Amino acid sequence: MTSIQLSTSITGPDDSKPRRARGTILALAFFFPLASCASFGAFPHGDAAYPFPEHETYATPAISEAQRLIAEGGPTLVGKKSLVVNGVTYPNDCTGVVRAAYAFADIDLAYRFTRYGGNGVRRLFMTLQDRGLLYAVRYPAPADLIFWDNTYDADGDRIADDELTHVGVVISVNEDGSIYYLHYHYRNGPVIERMNLTRPDDESIADGQPANSILRMRGSPPGPGSNAAQLFRVFGKGYELVKAGTGD
């Protein structure tokens, strides 16, 4: 398995100008308990259309060849200034980095983007939603796409009402619930960070990194949490999409 390089950071918006971020943001107390995961606490909120299983334990997933290629190829993008895979250059933003990771498996995540409006994250979400490939678990599979809400004030209205503001891709998952994911950091480019949906309020430091990386940007209005688990919305099985050029 490719070695994992972690970075502590705060995400920037998709296709937007970078903003300065602070190192620590306190999680704010807007709690909306989920009955399906009450034993895990109020966070993560998730998407009501895709509830978490009531009971869940870790099991080593059986992965496809496509998932393996994505999970092994994705980490090679860390620190790259230009996202080029198989001769194709991808945008330097969060959607671009997951598209580049999926290109290692010859999967074009953007093949239906012209059917939808909004930013790249929303178009990707709609692609998977229409194909029935969204779901929520606490122990995802390698190559799952991760969608987050409210990572920044996308519409500038000073209200935490910003859906589908960031996307990443799962690289690996540990038995303790640690999810290592690749995403695009506005300053450092592609990085690998951590999320733990079994301990969403845990920001303790281990191996020099928090259990849940901070995603909410400095200057954003008060909102429902600040770290990756608290802002989590849903996972998506992008690797089950049709391959580029095969139609739909």
Q: Which residue has the higher pLDDT, 38 or 234?
A: 234
Percent of the chain with pLDDT over 90: 68
Tokens of 207: 């191996």
Q: Which residue has tokens 């954003």? A: 220
Q: What is the pLDDT of residues 42-66, one digit of tens each?
A: 677 799 999 999 999 999 999 999 9
**Cβ atoms of residues 27 and 201 within 8 Å:** yes
**Cβ atoms of residues 52 and 138 within 8 Å:** yes
Element (H, E) at 88: strand 88-90
Q: What is the pLDDT of residues 109-153, one digit of tens each?
A: 999 999 999 999 999 999 999 999 999 999 999 999 999 999 988
Length of the chain as a residue count:
248
The domain limits of the chain are 40-51+63-240
